[in-house]
Amino acid sequence: MTSRKKHMTATSRAAAISRRSFLGRGIQGAGAIASLQAIQSMQALASSPPVPGDFKALVCFFMAGGNDSDNMIVSRDATEHAAYADAKGNLAVPLGDVLPTGAVSSDGRPWGFNPNLPELHQLYQQGDLAILGNVGRLLAPTTRADYLAGNATLPHQLFSHNDQIRQWQSATAELAPTSGWGGRLADRMDPLQVNPLIAISTSLSGSNLFLSGKTSPRMDIGGAGPIELAGTDPSFAISAVRDQAINDILALPTPHLFETEIAESVQEARVFNANLKLALGSAPSLTTAFPAGTMGARLKLAAEILSVRGALNMRRQILFVSMGGFDTHLDQSTPHPTLLQKVSQSIAAFYAATQELGIAQDVTLFTASDFGRTLTTNGRGTDHGWGGHHMVVGGAVQGGAMYGRMPTLALNGPDDTKRGRWIPSTSVDEYAATLACWFGLPAADLPDVLPNIGRFAAPDLGFMV
């Protein structure tokens, strides 16, 4: 389905409708917006060549629950690793198991990968993956002294899952945000599209704030692909009759704005669904092998959607996939290594698929999470933290390097609030701004997408070509 937040004047609404004038041409038949008629009228489109010229895609890989990134990117400094191991207890990665990279933080300390990330370690070594240290939600640069003195302006409800997911995905100071920075980026970039046949934003993991814009539509599909309305799948003999009945109902005039909006959204969703289903039916078969499981399937579908970008007239796309299980309060020793293994295999396969499709330079995947976790163990797992480390993967990434400033792994040290909850040294705003500028957003438009970006020194962190 689609989601559209309408905060438009009549003029801007008309412009938005004009950008999607395909809804009124070729697809509608005799004025009806029927998914079956859309399929019939688009048979030639599926084999059309890719859109020439500029194409870029961002893929947000969200690790839901709060990833323990201190166990993902691990210190290789002997003294610091000893302090880390003392705090982590039985959850610590032994120094001898850390995959060496030659990576050093800005102050010269060596770091490496968790041994369950061999594929991502290889991508780092070949220059296609960058590490961004100690990223988190900030409203302004914050020091430990300010935090302890109560002088810092802090995000709402630090260490709360729901609040920090909203804060991370919205990148605003609002207590109840209604749009995400991915959605606002889509709002700004949507005019680049020429007769797009699906929304610029697509979630493969259900509804989320990140992709919610103010004017641009969002498409939420299942991890297995487009979702049919019950009883309208062509495999049903009566599907055409049911499909026409739905169109007739949606076409009825209504005196209420909300009813009209719902009807328009359903119509748009049905067209998007039909367009995507048709295009995917003619997608090239990928030879890249994806791992079994939910994340492998979702990232394979993401690659397939990108493979039909030309058939769908897409110049920009923003995709969202989410992987759960990272809330490791009660048990981390077994689940977390397994989760990291799946992350490594799935992301590496996705990158290989973009290479196979010839779009590795045009697609950038970046990780995100609620927050990091505590350096200390609670005896069974780790608790909610703040700053955490992230990874960016793609052919346009200035990989094989670390960016930002890694925390000092010391309890009550210069970056610690308490128990190894790191005060972020890089804001989500700076992370997002670097990706947004690569995506084509003019620097002058950054405040429209990231209202707080002016409070931070580095709108370009340098990890993108």
pLDDT at 437 over 60: yes
What integer pLDDT is reported at residue 403 of this predicted model?
Answer: 97
Paired residues of 219 in beta bridges: 2, 202
Is residue 303 in a domain?
yes
Contact 385, 373 (CB under 8 A): yes
Q: Which of 38-52, 142-156, 211-225, 386-400 has the lowest mean pLDDT?
A: 38-52
Range with lowest mean pLDDT among 16-25, 176-185, 191-200, 281-290? 16-25
Tally the domains of the chain.
Answer: 1
Position 12 pLDDT exceeds 70: no
d(CA 299, CA 119): 15
Collapsing DSSP to helix, strand or coil, 38 comes out as helix
DSSP letter (8 states) at residue 179:
-
Mean pLDDT of 349-358: 98
Confidence band of 229 (pLDDT split at 50, 70, 90): low
DSSP bridge pairs for 3? 218
Beta carbons within 8 Å of 329's beta carbon, 6+ residues apart: 378, 380, 381, 382, 383
Q: To 5 degrees, how large is the angle CA 234–CA 238–CA 243?
A: 70
In this prediction, residue 346 carries a pLDDT of 98
Q: Of the given ranges (87-96, 248-257, 316-325, 341-350), which has the lowest mean pLDDT?
A: 248-257
**Taking a C-beta distance cutoff of 8 angstroms, is the pair 220, 203 a contact?**
yes
Indicate whether 3 belongs to any domain.
no
CATH number at residue 211: 3.40.720
Place 352 in a pLDDT band, splitting at 50, 70 and 90.
very high
Give the H or E element holding residue 414: none
- For residue 61, name the pLDDT band (cuts at 50, 70, 90): very high
**In this structure, is residue 378 part of a structural domain?**
yes
111 DSSP β-pair partners: 75, 103
**Would you say residue 50 lies in a domain?**
no
Percent of the chain with pLDDT over 70: 86
pLDDT at 2 (0 to 100): 54
Residues with Cβ within 8 Å of 248's Cβ and at least 6 positions away in sequence, in order, are: 32
Q: Tell me whether residue 354 is in a domain.
A: yes
Q: What is the pLDDT of residue 106?
A: 87
Res 205: pLDDT: 95
Q: Looking at residues 372-392, what average pLDDT do you find?
A: 98
Q: Could you tell me if residue 208 is inside a domain?
A: yes
Q: Which residue, chain included where needed, has tokens 């804060």?
A: 167
pLDDT of residue 27 exceeding 80, the answer is: no
Edge-to-edge strand list for the sheet holding 73-75: 73-75, 110-113, 99-104
Mean pLDDT of 27-36: 33
Instruction: Tell me what pLDDT residue 34 has.
Output: 34
Instruction: Output the CA angle 105-321-195, nearest 5 degrees.
Output: 115
pLDDT at 359 over 90: yes
What string of DSSP letters covers 273-335?
HHHHHHHHHTPPPP-SPPPSSHHHHHHHHHHHHHHTTTTTT-SEEEEEEEE-----SS--TTH
Q: Is the pLDDT of residue 226 over 50?
A: yes
Distance CA 166, CA 178 (A): 9
* pLDDT (0 to 100) of residue 264: 79
CA angle 414, 87, 79 (to 5 degrees): 70
Domain presence at residue 271: no
In a domain, 24, yes or no: no
The pLDDT value given to residue 230: 63
Contact 144, 415 (CB under 8 A): yes
- pTM score > 0.75 for this model? yes
Average pLDDT over residues 311-323: 97
**pLDDT reported for residue 248:** 79
Full domain range(s) for residue 160: 55-236+289-455
